Structure 1
């Protein structure tokens, strides 16, 4: 039986990948040391998810390893060697704001950690597809200079613009303000491409919009929809940062993203890049998401507004999914924002107990 090696295995995307590929019959080796708790505090810890995986997934094997530790990581890869049929790298420091607090840790996790993963894969399983969860933040604030229009509940792009279906992969990642998080993810993204182009490995960078789902350990600094629904359910105060609350994000459910990973696994390519998110089928503004949360919970959200937006944050971002759909026509979005939020509410009523 082959092995899928997944970093960040107790996180939102990692845990979804564990369940999916274990169900296909692969042994799954998970690498996760709960750095999310270090970044964001106890409320963001993924211990609960790791414990659930270990209880429920019989062919899951957890490794409490830090991806910054090259020798420890190499030892895990060496143990399984060429039996590794797939590598999925989701471990990261994922927050704009946190990165500015400690740029060294942010860069060492996102950039050096990715380099360690790539080198270990090249040494021990160079033929295994290598899937990396990049981010739309590699484009920096360039999307903010598109011709945007302010509507009643959201910002929108001029419908005559070529990016009106969504932002495509040809947008420049250069000469823009990324945040330090965005810069460290650019470094990782380009490394993943280079190992595909230079060494011929089957690598892909999925530049995600908002990745979401009911298993997200949402917190104020990361996990937009999950944290918003958590606040709506528990009565926790919520703060909107800038843009009148009309900033737009596309949101992709973790199951739809893993389905995209599975398509690439079955037919991999070298050095590929895809923008991946909810696209035009699953997106919302902050105000629209608040309205949906209030409708689903039957409770008023206790929120305030801060005029200062987060530095380098996007006003409007929707992914153009055309390139990935052209390469993998069997894939499509199955969850829209209302369905995502309803599932979050239904699944987490015990975990996020109503107060």
Structure 2
């Protein structure tokens, strides 16, 4: 039976990957020790999602409560299943650049050393497997903030004639900019994934995501922009906008569309690839624009405050240019636009209150 090992299997992209690949009849080995509850508190725990996966997929889903920093525990899993593993989807991470500054060593050992452990286990036990890594647009640091941005009534924007109008592509430098410690640890992991492809010939890819979202997201203030925003709107909880007049722009991609991209890469893999992946011009919004849609769907106003203290290294404007991935995999298409994403988030959150 085709087998996929998924790290962070109870998180947003991990659980979407479980559902996607188990839905294709593949056996799934899930690795997740619910570190999200350590990062962001008990309300961000993914234990509910782990239980749901076990109930939905039964024997197709085998869970390991293992920390990816534990090299011996990972090697035991890889050794047990060996060449049966044909795909590794690595989504486990410390995902917040604010949190990383609190405990830099924890952040780095999870994001960088944990990725190295997985790559080396792949090379030793199943070198023919495809290795997919969920990287981040934060590998570009704050370099996007030096683009010639234009302030509009509800958002920051860039001129239509600018080469990056359709989005930022993989040609942007990842060097000599402020990344945050989270960004630095993800750069290390991203480059390792590339190197195991280019140096050892493994079939690896780094997918540098914009804002990844979906109804399985356990949104928290420090991570999970749209999910947390919708949660606050529906529940009446207070929300804080950090800087840039609330006009900062993000592109947003549904977890299904991202995992579907993984599937296309898995079927025709390459070695040491890098792809910017996000909502692109198809699905993006500013903070103010997102608030307006959330309020419309929820039928109530969001209670929010504003502070000029933007998060250090945060992007003012980021839209992904996904044309490289689309050129390599022209059969891949979006299923969700911004409105459809927010409608799903509203339905999921409303069911909890």
Could you say which residue in structure 2 is the equivalent of 1:25? Answer: 25
Name the structure 1 match of 2:2. Answer: 2
Distance 2:73 2:102 in 1: 27
Is residue 341 of structure 1 aligned with residue 342 of structure 2? yes
Tell me the residue number matched to 1:316. 317
Equivalences for residues 1-355 of structure 1 within 5 A:
1-58=1-58, 59-351=60-352, 353=353
Q: CA deviation at 1:347?
A: 2.3
* 3-state SS, counterpart of residue 215 of structure 1: coil
Q: Structure 1: which 5+ residue stretches go unaligned?
A: none
* Paired residues of 2:4 and 2:88 also in contact (CA < 8 A): yes
In structure 1, what is the Cα distance between the partners aligned to 2:12 and 2:156?
28
Contact 2:30 2:63 in 1 (8 A): yes
The CA deviation at 1:337 is 1.2
Report the CA distance between 1:160 and its aligned residue: 1.4
**How many Å separate the matches in 2 of 1:246 and 1:298?**
22
Instruction: Summarize deviations over 1:241-287 as a string: whole Å, max 9, x none.
Output: 00000000000000000110000000000000000000000000000
In structure 1, C-alpha distance between the alignment counterparts of 2:347 and 2:112, rounded to whole Å:
37
TM-score normalized with structure 2 length? 0.99
What is the TM-score normalised by the length of structure 1? Answer: 0.99
CA distance in 2, matches of 1:12, 1:246: 26
Q: Offset of 1:348 from its aligned partner? A: 2.6
Question: How many angstroms does 1:338 deviate by?
Answer: 1.1
Aligned to 2:261, the other structure's residue is in SS state: helix
Gaps of at least 5 residues in structure 2 are none
DSSP-derived class of the 1:319 partner: coil
RMSD of aligned Cα (Å) = 0.5
Report the secondary structure of 1:88's partner residue: strand
Q: CA deviation at 1:188?
A: 0.1
Whole-angstrom distance in 2 between the partners of 1:93 and 1:209: 16
Give the match's secondary structure for 1:5: strand
Q: State the aligned residue count.
A: 352
Q: Tell me how far apart the structure 2 counterparts of residues 273 and 152 of structure 1 sit (CA, whole Å).
A: 34
* Deviation (angstroms), 1:349: 1.8
Secondary structure of 2:6 counterpart: strand
Task: Tell me by how many angstroms 1:316 deviates.
Answer: 0.2
| Contact 2:230 2:349 (C-alpha < 8 Å) held by counterparts | no
Q: How far is 1:333 from its partner?
A: 1.6
Q: Please state how far the C-alpha of 1:350 moved relative to its aligned partner.
A: 2.4
What is the alpha-carbon distance in structure 1 between the residues aligned to residue 274 and residue 229 of structure 2?
30
Aligned-pair CA distance for 1:288: 0.1
